[in-house]
Amino acid sequence: MNIIKVKNYEAMSKKALELVIHQLNMKEDSTLGLATGSTPVGLYQQLIVAHKNRYISFKDVKTFNLDEYIGLDRNHPESYFSFMNRHLFEHIDISEDNINLPNNDINRLEEDVKAYNDLLSKNTIDLQILGIGTNGHIGFNEPGTPFEQETFIVDLDMKTREDNARFFDSIDSVPKQAITMGIKNIMKANHILLLASGANKAEAIKKMVDGPVDITHPASVLQLHPNCTVIVDEAAASQL
């Protein structure tokens, strides 16, 4: 793991921007793996600015998102489909045909899982952006998920639902399930870029970097990835 320590959230986002720009400069038609949550929002804002200043284009870029809630309509403001449109896609020149998120149609979830997994097996992600849960999850691969797991339907941990309750009226409105890329899909990416900011991530980062590689802390699997970069701010790195 290549660990880059920076001062704060803004510096984390700027450093991540440099790496994404480097990737797009190397390969205009890169395939990016994208994450939702608060962590990558600053990076997305910077990418929008870089695009508006004509430093980068997404014209030939393809994207795959990690996950989507089950039980929310895609047009619900807190669906990850809406999140990505709001925070990135509607501000850049990406083609709609190149955007991929798992479908979450409750009447055909098994087909949706298979379709997304098939799509992932036909595409190689050049750069996968990840956040980390306070419980060590990556994507929505909660503690206990086997490392061989491919795309699946996950029952969200209570901890994850509590952490994400800030986006909803109450904890009861937070979905109980999601469709997520599995750990195996994530590990296939050529380069993984994990971002973490804030003291509430410090323990999860410590276990990811120094702990045993174990399914009880899913992010620890990244110790086995040949090309993983971690950008952490001072607070998130405070236990390293």
Active site residues: 67, 135, 137, 142
Q: What number of chain residues touch ligand PGA (CB under 6 A)?
A: 6
Using only C-alpha atoms, the chain has a radius of gyration, in whole angstroms, of 17
Sole window of 81-89, 91-99, 128-136, 143-151 interacting with ligand PGA (rule: CB under 6 A): 128-136
CA distance 25 to 6: 23
Sole window of 18-26, 126-134, 173-181, 207-215 interacting with ligand PGA (rule: CB under 6 A): 126-134
Report the nearest approach of ligand PGA to the CB of residue 222 (Å). Answer: 13
Run of H or E including 68: strand 67-70
Residue numbers 21-60 binding ligand PGA by CB under 6 A: 37-39
Query: Using the rule CB under 6 A, which residue among 16, 24, 113, 132 binds ligand PGA?
Result: 132
CA distance 131 to 83: 15
The answer to whether 142 touches 81, Cβ cutoff 8 Å, is no
Total H helices, total E strands in the chain: 7, 10
3 state DSSP class of 152:
strand
Query: Using the rule CB under 6 A, which residue among 131, 136, 175, 218 binds ligand PGA?
Result: 131
Q: Which is nearer to ligand PGA, 33 or 37 (CB)?
A: 37
Query: Using the rule CB under 6 A, which residue among 33, 133, 175, 182 binds ligand PGA?
Result: 133
Report the nearest approach of ligand PGA to the CB of residue 59 (Å). Answer: 28
Starting at the earlier edge strand, list the strands of the sheet with 177-180: 67-70, 177-180, 152-155
Sole window of 50-58, 84-92, 130-138, 142-150 interacting with ligand PGA (rule: CB under 6 A): 130-138
CA distance 118 to 127: 19
Report the nearest approach of ligand PGA to the CB of residue 203 (Å). Answer: 13
Report the nearest approach of ligand PGA to the CB of residue 21 (Å). Answer: 21
Q: Which of 203, 35, 63, 38 is CA-nearest to residue 126? A: 63
